[in-house]
Amino acid sequence: MSNIAETDGRTASSRTDGRQIGRYRSLERRDIYTGYSFLAPAILVLAFVLLIPLVQAVILSFYNKPIGATATFTWLQNYSDTLIDPSFWRAAYNTLIFVVFSIIIKLILGLAIALALNQSFPGRGFARVAVLIPWALPEITACMGFIWLLDGNVGALNAILRGFGLIEQNVYFLSDPKLAMPTVIAVNIWRGFPFFTLTLMAALQTIDKDLYEAADLDGANSWHKFWFITLPSIMPVLTVTTLLSTIWTTNSFTTIFVLTGGGPSDMTTTLPIYTYDQAFQGYANLGRAAAIAVIILPLIVLMIAMLMRVMRKREEIEA
Amino acid sequence: MRRGKGLQQFGRFLFLAIVMVLIIFPVYWMINTSFKSNAEVFQRHPTFWPHSPTLAAYSALMQPTGTRAPFLQTMLNSLIAAAGATVLSVAIGICAAYALTRLRFPGRDTFSALVFGCYVFPGILLFIPIYIQFQQLGLLDTFPGLILAYQIFGIPFATWMLRSYFVTIPSALEEAARIDGCNRLQSIFYIVIPLAAPGIAASTIFTFTTSWNEFLFAQVLMQTPEKQTAQVAIYSLMNGDTLPWNQLMAASVLVGVPVLILYFGAQRFVGGGLTAGAVK
Amino acid sequence: MIKTNYLYDSLVSRRAMLTWAGRSAAFAAFLSAARSLPAVAANAPTLRIWMGEDYVPAWNAYLPVMIKKVAAELGVNAQVELTPDNDTGRARRQTALESDTLPDIIHGTTADMAKYYDLGKLHPIAAEVFERMQTTNGGWLDNIKPFVTASDGKVYGVPFFTRPWLVHYRQDIFDKAGIKTPPATLDDFKAAAKEVNNPGDGLFGVGMPYNQADMDGHMVAFPWLYNSSWQDEHGNLTVDTAANLEALKSYLWFFQQGLTPQDSLNWGGSGNNNAYLTGLAAIVNNTGSLFAALQRDRPDLAEVTALGPWPQALPDGKPAATTIGFCLNVAHNSANAELAGRFIERMLAVENMGPLLEAGSGQAMPVRTELTQIEYFQKDPIVGRIVRDVVPYSRPLTYPGPNNAKFGDLVSNNSPYFKDLLHRVLVDGVTPEESLKQFAAAGAELQKKYNN
């Protein structure tokens, strides 16, 4: 109808589909109009529920705002208070430990399982489905289950370990200062490795089998094949998955909150927990909590930028 | 050579068997506990199979208490909120993803990055301003309000996921349709959407489960017992001093089962969905 | 040495326990039959009322009925909600505070009320009602006024009920060890806990909490046992004193001696209850929630449980009975403040409050003289003795000073400051002296915050 003018088959198409080079015509104005109108619902809704509260939160960070009381303007006081608070740096350190160990182990474990599932064997179908379970269970469900399982007095894990003679006395997984963080990391790994496994399984499927056969002919062993064929092929997927998981793990709140509440003392207090404490526990200063979030934000933005760059680069390669 | 292979097979099998146990045992333990009576739960030595299995925990959940509606009703509330949020997010996401992949306009890449950035912003700080805002607008304790709040992660996630699917659909198909006389909307409906169906299905499933599992906003925005979602109802079972573990586990099981069924049933899509954007 | 012999010799016999349970059940049945009440006119004024969910189902069942009854009497439309005592309920109240949408009538602990008062969220009508009710029907119990009095000497809440903490003892275990329970002094208490402590066999002497929860029954009271307190009678904090240091060390002693399960560092409100319910601890201090759970889930243990206040003779010879106070308040921006005031007064009438206290099966203690005389308290052996022997010596947590917000923040249930005080020593290895100093510093910060 009105688009019959585009008969030469070349239109201003999406740039990511780099096969065709766009030719701008009067079409372009329509494109812009259409583009904005398609995007409008998303922008409007997000402006309402995200942007405005976000701006309000940033403004809040310049005030002292106890719950229920009126706000008093304190300019940068919240920021300076946070940066000199040793608990903040402790929380930052805890977050680093939590994220680094979680991600590394999730990666290795997820990859190992994906590799193991990559070949046929009886029960493979069941295993591939079962691997989904920790990811699919709601966070609270899983955490409640683990609190009960790990209980130091009547928990099943202690009973099992004692039954096998591995321990003499009950282990207090969630309240022993030395064990709390490893335990919380372990639960996070349990919940998170399926994400790696699933994405890597799909990635492994796309590797050309011929490559392996060629390598076999050249006398390569398993390790060579893995290192020189498998790993490079899945590296793009691995990178994206890792970055995404890192962002999620850094923001992780509910798991630690339900399991230990940040304790004992501040052994498992990560930055999100620290923020919540400042907002709602006895300290109760919403402005301070907002400032903490603003401080953390650049870190998250950095990770997102890296993620987007990697994804964009891959799309260009594939074009 | 064959023996090495056999050893490898065995090693792999053992490894996977251990992993399976580690995955399944906690779930088994939750289900196990949900069928125990309170007295049995509080024994010193845990029993691996209920001595006198009972549905007491489940039936207790079905009764309303002063602060909690019958659990099935809270699950219905979760369903309404999650389904509504998903429909809205996916619909808006389709539009937005289409715009970001098919149309050229200034600021497109910025929008792309912004939309994704929204997804990873920690929700903890947002809920007080949102509470105040919604309260002024009379959106508290309403399903439209909660559904709107869920768009915070719903729209970015759906958009991002759909975008990766749309990218894989060659525009040549659409152009062919347009040459044949379709306008843009028709080409979307008849070409793009059917081709992206797996992606749309995956986005739907993921958005739904994320909304179903969501806790923080549900707790803050839906406050009367009749409107509570299931996740909040579980948490509110932790009332004061005594935790009814068997009820907690039973509630957790009830809440987890629909999600598991959804994932298993749509496992085809899920495998593809998780890799959207990661693998072509 | 003064002998504190209130409930000590009376074990909870099986018959008494069944009476309690039976009573609750019969009561609940009666109430469900009595649910039909006359409807209220459509254009009647509306009162939003938030009450708290309790541990006893019969209470939760009767409370809305009672409120509707009063509403019908006064021709009012009452919207009742029960908020749970957990993070969800707390979050709800916090957000209501934040957006200034507190209900017309709100129920809470006296610590909550101090805070709301300090934030200017309460209506002064409560004081009028308090005065009015002082002159009717025998008035309030003598020791009730401090619960609801603020630092400026004004009353800001109408007392509703109190809930004393009681120490629960496993009489069977102590009998077997040949120890007389309950112990008369704190030293006897410590010795008894140590004697029966046998972690290898899965028994700890005492289930003492060392985390945020339950501090109002433990760390608040310990200074009392050393003739000290966390604030003086004028409401000034008196944290860093030699006697309080003794109290702190004394409290830490139980953990350091391994007399309490190690995960008490991580306990929520239910930790010590669970310890007693699973037979893990021989002594646990808690409010009636533990006893309710015992009757419901472990009647075998309920049978061998003895009850009593903290074991230490005090100069005046009276027991140190930590008590939480609950009161009713009116929001400062309520459209029907005067009506709310009258509503509260009717709620506390003996014909309404009496059955409620009975439904509570001893989880709630009376605050008015006439209420101590109801038949339930006269007849029931256990609860009656608590009313006679413990309630008159109930002390608010703020003893000997007035209720105020900074004190509430510092020492209330779920205070992170107590948690820090204890964890600094037990986890981070700080000395008790130093930890106490830091606790005092936190108190000083709060003092500044609230005096601004």
Domain residue extents for chain B: 2-59, 69-269
Query: If you measure CA to CA, which chain B residue comes closest to A290?
Result: B125
User: Under 8 Å CB-to-CB from B104, ≥6 apart: which residues?
Assistant: A12, A14, A15, A22, A28, A31, A32, A35
State the average pLDDT over residues B46-63: 80
Query: If you measure CA to CA, which chain C residue comes closest to B46?
Result: C278
- Mutation pick from A2, A14, A241, A304 vs chain B, by most beta carbons of B within 10 Å, is A14
Instruction: Return the structure tokens found at C375.
Output: 């038949």
Confidence of residue A9 (pLDDT cuts 50, 70, 90): very low
Residue A90: predicted pLDDT = 93
Q: Which of C200, C416, C423 lies closest to A264 in CB terms?
A: C423
Instruction: Return the structure tokens found at C319.
Output: 């027991």
Indicate yes or no: CB of C202 within 8 angstroms of CB of B44: yes
Q: What is the pLDDT of residues C251-278, one digit of tens each?
A: 999 999 999 988 888 887 778 888 898 8
Indicate yes or no: CB of B66 within 8 angstroms of CB of C60: yes
Indicate yes or no: CB of A39 within 8 angstroms of CB of B99: yes
Q: Are B57 and B35 a contacting pair, CB within 8 Å? A: yes
Which residues on C lie below 8 Å from A175 (Cβ)? 262-267
State the average pLDDT over residues B153-182: 80
Confidence of residue B222 (pLDDT cuts 50, 70, 90): confident
pLDDT at B271 > cutoff 60: no
Indicate yes or no: CB of A67 within 8 angstroms of CB of C94: yes
Q: Are C312 and C322 a contacting pair, CB within 8 Å? A: no
Residue C235: predicted pLDDT = 82
Residue C315: predicted pLDDT = 62
Tell me the CATH number for domain B69-269: 1.10.3720.10
Indicate yes or no: CB of A275 within 8 angstroms of CB of B124: yes
Query: pLDDT exceeding 90 applies to what percent of chain C?
Result: 38
State the average pLDDT over residues C222-245: 89
Kindly list the distances between the CA atom of residue C10 and the CA atoms of A227, C54, C275, in Å, as whole numbers in the listed order: 76, 26, 23
Residue C41: predicted pLDDT = 62
Confidence of residue C71 (pLDDT cuts 50, 70, 90): very high
Least confident of A159-168, B105-114, C300-309, C441-450: B105-114
Q: Is the pTM of this model over 0.90?
A: no
Q: CA angle, corner C228, sides to C254 and C448, nearest 5?
A: 105
Residue C344: predicted pLDDT = 95
Q: Where are the alpha helices (DSSP H) in C155-241?
A: 171-176, 186-196, 222-225
Residue C161: predicted pLDDT = 94
Q: Are B114 and A304 a contacting pair, CB within 8 Å? A: no
B65 SS3 class: strand
Confidence of residue A17 (pLDDT cuts 50, 70, 90): very low
- Could you give the dihedral angle defined by the CA atoms of residues C12, C15, C20 and C23, in that order, rounded to the nearest 10 degrees? -170
Q: Which of A49, A296, A308 lies closest to B116 in CB terms?
A: A308
Residue C2: predicted pLDDT = 23
pLDDT at B275 > cutoff 50: no
Q: What is the pLDDT of residues B223-244, one digit of tens each?
A: 777 888 998 888 777 665 567 7
Please tell me the distance from the alpha carbon of residue B94 to that of residue A39, in angstroms, as a whole number. Answer: 10
State the average pLDDT over residues C355-380: 90
Q: Which of B111, B170, B270 lies closest to A39 in CB terms?
A: B111
Query: If you measure CA to CA, which chain B residue comes closest to A257?
Result: B216
Which residues on A lie below 8 Å from B100 (Cβ)? 39
pLDDT at A177 > cutoff 90: no
pLDDT at C233 > cutoff 70: yes
State the average pLDDT over residues C18-33: 46
* Interfacial residues of B (vs C; Cβ cutoff 8 Å): 38-39, 42-44, 65-68, 128, 131-132, 135, 219-220, 223-225, 232, 235-236, 238-243
Confidence of residue C350 (pLDDT cuts 50, 70, 90): very high
Instruction: Return the structure tokens found at C251.
Output: 């409290």
State the average pLDDT over residues A286-303: 82
Residue B4: predicted pLDDT = 63
pLDDT at C91 > cutoff 90: no
pLDDT at A56 > cutoff 80: yes
Residue B41: predicted pLDDT = 74
Q: What is the pLDDT of residues A187-228, one digit of tens each?
A: 999 999 998 998 888 788 777 788 888 888 887 787 878 888
Which of B144-148, B206-210, C82-86, C151-155 ranks highest by mean pLDDT? B144-148
Residue A29: predicted pLDDT = 67
Kindly list the distances between the CA atom of residue A235 and the CA atoms of A193, A231, A315, B279, C267, in Å, as whole numbers in the listed order: 17, 6, 14, 11, 44
Which residues on B lie below 8 Å from A122 (Cβ)? none
What is the C-alpha R_g of chain B? 23
Least confident of B18-32, B263-277, C165-179, C334-348: B263-277
Which of B80-89, B104-113, C109-118, C150-159 ranks highest by mean pLDDT? B80-89
Strands across the sheet containing C305-308: C283-286, C166-170, C305-308
Tell me which chains share at least 3 CB pairs under 8 Å with chain A.
B, C
Which residues on C lie below 8 Å from A177 (Cβ)? 265, 427
State the average pLDDT over residues B56-69: 76
Residue C133: predicted pLDDT = 93
Residue B279: predicted pLDDT = 38
Indicate yes or no: CB of A237 within 8 angstroms of CB of B279: yes
Least confident of A28-42, A87-101, A188-202, C177-191: A28-42
Confidence of residue B19 (pLDDT cuts 50, 70, 90): very high
Taking only residues 100 to 139 of chain A, the set having a beta carbon closer than 8 angstroms to any beta carbon of chain C reads none
Query: If you average pLDDT over every residue of chain B, what do you get?
Result: 80
Least confident of A92-96, A114-118, C96-100, C218-222: C96-100
DSSP state of C305: E
Instruction: Return the structure tokens found at B92.
Output: 């808006």
Confidence of residue C370 (pLDDT cuts 50, 70, 90): very high
Q: Which residue has the higher pLDDT, A81 or A67?
A: A81
pLDDT at C103 > cutoff 90: yes
Residue A239: predicted pLDDT = 82
Which residues on C lie below 8 Å from B42 (Cβ)? 274, 277-278, 297-298
Which residues on C lie below 8 Å from A172 (Cβ)? 261-263, 265-266
Residue C430: predicted pLDDT = 93
State the average pLDDT over residues C148-165: 88
Confidence of residue C42 (pLDDT cuts 50, 70, 90): low
Confidence of residue A16 (pLDDT cuts 50, 70, 90): very low
pLDDT at C32 > cutoff 60: no
B244 SS3 class: coil
Least confident of B7-21, B227-241, C429-443: B227-241
How many A/C residue pairs have CB atoms within 8 Å?
A: 80
Instruction: Return the structure tokens found at C349.
Output: 């009438």
Query: pLDDT exceeding 70 applies to what percent of chain B?
Result: 85
* Interfacial residues of C (vs B; Cβ cutoff 8 Å): 53, 55, 57, 60-61, 63-64, 81-89, 91-92, 95, 98-99, 101, 202, 268-270, 273-274, 277-280, 286-287, 289-290, 292-293, 296-298
Instruction: Read off the amino acid at residue A310.
Output: V
Residue C241: predicted pLDDT = 93
Indicate yes or no: CB of C63 within 8 angstroms of CB of B66: yes
Which residues on C lie below 8 Å from A179 (Cβ)? none
Taking only residues 248 to 307 of chain A, the set having a beta carbon closer than 8 angstroms to any beta carbon of chain C reads 260-261, 263-265, 267, 277, 280-284
Q: What is the pLDDT of residues A218-277, one digit of tens each?
A: 877 878 788 888 888 888 778 878 888 888 898 888 899 888 888 788 899 999 888 888
Q: Which of C97, C200, C264 lies closest to A67 in CB terms?
A: C97
State the average pLDDT over residues A51-70: 82
pLDDT at B212 > cutoff 80: yes
Query: pLDDT exceeding 90 applies to what percent of chain A?
Result: 17
Least confident of A141-155, A161-175, B40-54, C7-21: C7-21
Q: Where are the alpha helices (DSSP H) in chain A?
A: 27-46, 52-60, 77-84, 86-116, 124-130, 133-136, 139-149, 156-163, 180-205, 209-217, 222-225, 231-251, 254-259, 271-280, 286-318
Instruction: Return the structure tokens found at A213.
Output: 């056969």
- Mutation pick from B241, B243, B246, B247 vs chain C, by most beta carbons of C within 10 Å, is B241
Distance of CA C275 to the CA centre of its chain: 19
* Interfacial residues of C (vs A; Cβ cutoff 8 Å): 91, 94, 97-98, 100, 115-116, 119, 121, 199-200, 211-212, 261-268, 274-275, 278, 280, 409-410, 414-417, 419-420, 423-424, 426-428, 449
Distance of CA C27 to the CA centre of its chain: 24
